[in-house]
Structure 1
């Protein structure tokens, strides 16, 4: 059998330079408490009514995730060195951005909504942004629910806000974060015991990623830290059609600079045979193959440009669009194939603050421009709206804030990803080797050159993970 295990963790550290006096808005807290059953009932009823728009998630949210995947990948691959791979979780990154969007106002709200391409889809977004969060919540619920259909597929999405124990988070924000994103709110003490807070958050990370990511914070956080927003995504699944084991997995030369060049490394390639989704696109100049997981609800799509090399892959990715990806997937047909695909263990830690700044999100990291006033009223009493008891949505809260700003801003965004593609089980080695060598009229898909892939939840068309692989890891140097 062959399993793929993936874990992703995105961490946002938000700090404030405000004074340490803490003020609470009792009117705000009393009305927006999750225990307010009448209010909760109204919100849930509205969410259920919005379910009538069944295509909303795909037309706006899922499309935005795919577009963001392409944008981030283009920037990251441009910053890589020789033989460096790029892996990240679009769903994890987008989930955090949506949580920040929900808590933001002013330029921060505008920049994030533009990055997610929400303004083009919803012209009056500042009055209807709650639709986005309701839709995102429904999408997450579908992914979590359908993952349980197959005992050998696990998708777990967890979100938490770690808040300085005496720092006021708006109860409205807390309520909606719990309702739409199933986010938990954890109290820690960054100011008096930063090391203990670090240990507590790392323990949460380890639990939510099944021990695959044990440390996301490798140093005590600054005592000025007020909020840490964390999102973890864990994915484990068995292939619908198992890769063979034994001698079917062998070392092959891997041609980083193309098959016409001299190979400098070797990688283990796993072998498989049977019918797989396949399409050869002459116009785009690439081949796509789908490797479905049990139940065919989730698939890894592998794209290999013609005459691929490191430079050719980057050139291909600089031109490809989110629509191209969807079109490629839609054109695949089950084809009798032999597949040789790398066995990989991939791990990476990315500092995404530079990437987001390049994509236009700059105010979030500027203490004088960031505005997270919907997330918190801050520690200054004049920043707390005197009466929000008549509001019933995030957008109405945002309107009531005027120029109020709690002084929160982001200092760093760290994204950590772990992926492990392995095979388990018992398959006769000798017969497997013979079976793979007799291709007949089959299409052979040998991945011994740079390629890209994305793991997609096909029911919702949501991209969970993304990779641009120049040199599979582990790899082994070939003596020259």
Structure 2
């Protein structure tokens, strides 16, 4: 979740959540989607994973915590929203951080990044991806899963992944129409006016309640301190994920076992280790000196990949991660095959709050955190208008004192009309309810012969001039505005995104005032739970080993790296390193 403010103190926050359980999803149309580009989709997924690697490596340079886990999806989405509103140096730094400037097409058509990412998030939010998006390459092991799939599964016991985005900004502080329209087109963002200046306590309460609601109560308080009165805008991205294992761990198999943070030959710690046996995708990577195994969730929609370097220790895992890349991970996954295995894996309950400001600055994103250098001029002009007196209360569960809130901008006409059109339409609507105004409009009809030549001698009007030439002008602005609104509704679903790119091009060639938006902090928070069944009270399906015994014994008893990935889109949902498991 992100917070941006003008002058004074500002924050950038990201919220992400994992709770393992199950829900059903939505069916989608079988029609092909002309917006979908398989190449761009694969590239964005790869870029997201590469960013995960670099963030993880940078964090571990100074961290000595037992776990470092974060959500690449949540971070990448929030940074993409910032990219949408950035210009100048800030835009170029974000392009480099998100690995977009390495592709010539995307470098010239940034709108496509947001369009494709929104399609990927739609597929991730739904249980069944759009049929027209199935041209993405799938891992070989997933195509071999017919004999290994649990036959007792049904649509009601799959998974739930939801990504919610929101912008909360100071009432009276201008947000560009082009940015707002593009945000809603790509990310279906919740837009809400708050009064940070006069009621920072209630504004803070609203943001925390929004995050709490979107994360199903797992992150109750993302803002630990009251927002400063100088806050101008908050950009938020919240993630909620829950899924059941394809095969549950043996409940009776969980017991305290040794875990060796510093290697097999050093003293261990005792942790609760789960046990399971069956067929699982596995690859012994001789070329990278590690082993990788997959623990699929129901229907193989998402998967937890566990990677352990040989002779793993804290130091060895840090070295290994520094050499790992997205291409190497994808290569190992592509070589996985089903093997019978006995798996020992620790129970996990990880709550993590990471300050990513210094991490991203080390990775090249510097101007965003500087008042003098940050350029988010596509979000706002920086102009403040008087506070509206005719506001309406906002709505959110469990929030009181909402009289300071202002309505969301989520109707179709508001998204696609210009500011002047909306203002004029509003005035016309007010006049339409006033009898005196109606009579005034009826009496305001004038007749004149129009001409492009102002010096031309005008002839007397004739009947055919009025009927055929239509030289009638009326003070009915709302008639033209209504038809203009219909014309402004975009037939191209990406029109709003393209308009924002054009605005960036225009601003880059002109002298324009910088609104002064900058981020002072970037905080990422997660809550991750991994247990035997994936959620409380889930049904268990017991699997048995072949009589010939397992092909492999996979013991996650030394430091390891894990990745939870959505298989259809290859989006990395969670990524992290575990040096010492954190039990319940």
TM-score by length of 1: 0.83
Distance 2:548 2:33 in 1: 52
- Cα displacement (A) at 1:155: 0.4
2:7 is aligned to: 17
- Cα displacement (A) at 1:147: 6.1
Match of 2:71 among 81, 86, 89: 89
**SS of corresponding position for 1:50:** coil
2:339 is aligned to: 335
Distance 2:328 2:538 in 1: 39
- After superposition, residues 207-356 of structure 1 pair within 5 angstroms as 207-246=213-252, 248-263=253-268, 265-356=269-360
Contact 2:66 2:581 in 1 (8 A): no
2:38 is aligned to: 54
Distance 2:122 2:86 in 1: 24
- Calculate the aligned-residue CA RMSD, in Å: 2.7
Distance 1:453 1:415, change over 3 A: same
Contact 1:300 1:455 in 2 (8 A): yes
Cα deviation, 1:290-321, whole Å, max 9, x if unaligned, reads: 00000111100000110111111111001011
Moved more, 417-426 or 326-335: 417-426
Distance 2:547 2:582 in 1: 28
Distance 1:116 1:412 in 2: 19
Contact 2:259 2:271 in 1 (8 A): yes
- After superposition, residues 348-367 of structure 1 pair within 5 angstroms as 348-367=352-371
Contact 1:338 1:439 in 2 (8 A): no
Distance 1:221 1:167 in 2: 16
Contact 1:249 1:269 in 2 (8 A): yes
Match of 2:114 among 133, 144, 147: 133
Match of 2:575 among 461, 466, 473: 466
- Cα displacement (A) at 1:123: 5.6
Match of 1:66 among 28, 44, 49: 49
Cα deviation, 1:431-460, whole Å, max 9, x if unaligned, reads: 99xx78998343110111100000000111
- Cα displacement (A) at 1:17: 2.6
- Cα displacement (A) at 1:146: 2.8
- Cα displacement (A) at 1:261: 1.1
Distance 1:450 1:70 in 2: 16
Cα deviation, 1:78-104, whole Å, max 9, x if unaligned, reads: 1211x5210000010000010000001
TM-score by length of 2: 0.69
Aligned residues: 424
2:555 is aligned to: 446
- After superposition, residues 180-199 of structure 1 pair within 5 angstroms as 180-199=186-205
**SS of corresponding position for 1:418:** strand
Contact 1:68 1:116 in 2 (8 A): yes
Distance 2:302 2:561 in 1: 17
1:23 is aligned to: none
1:146 is aligned to: 127
Say yes or no: does 1:111 pair with 2:111.
Answer: no
Gaps of 5+ in 1: 1-10, 19-46, 476-480
**SS of corresponding position for 2:332:** helix
Q: Runs ≥4 in structure 1, deviation > 6 angstroms?
A: 385-391, 435-439
1:400 is aligned to: 506
2:136 is aligned to: none
Cα deviation, 1:98-143, whole Å, max 9, x if unaligned, reads: 0000001000000000111111112672x41111111111111111
